[in-house]
Amino acid sequence: MIKNRPLVAVRILLFKDNTVLLGERINTDKITDWPPTWGPPGGHLELGESFEDCVIREAKEEIGIEIQAPKFFAVTNDFYAM
């Protein structure tokens, strides 16, 4: 495992009937000391993994939903100093 490397987070926006799925995000990686918040499901991109493959994997792991053909939406480059 490489330490002190950038982490690429991927979030999944799932829409149905003009609503979006949110869940309570609990800090489990212990990198930050942030309190729980609400947000879309997602996770971290694995080395060599595409954004689409990451979304498919994370949707299955986190919420048990199989996504067939995710559509790429946007990228942000956010830096958080730890």
Whether residue 26 is contained in a domain is answered as yes
* In the block, residue with structure tokens 């595409």: 50
Whether residue 79 is contained in a domain is answered as no
Say how many CA atoms lie within 13 Å of 36 toward its Cβ. Answer: 5
In terms of phi and psi (left: phi > 0; alpha: psi -120 to 50; beta: otherwise), the region of 11 is beta
pTM (predicted TM-score): 0.74
Two tokens, residue 42: 């997602």
* pLDDT tops 80 at residue 30: no
Whether residue 71 is contained in a domain is answered as no
How many separate domains does the chain show? 1
Contacts of 41 (CB under 8 A, 6+ apart): 11, 12, 14, 21, 23, 58, 59, 62, 63
Whether residue 13 is contained in a domain is answered as yes
pLDDT of residue 1: 57
Q: What is the pLDDT of residues 48-72, one digit of tens each?
A: 999 999 999 999 999 999 999 998 8
pLDDT of residue 66: 95
Whether residue 81 is contained in a domain is answered as no
**Cβ atoms < 10 Å from Cβ of 62:** 14
Domain that holds residue 50: 9-63
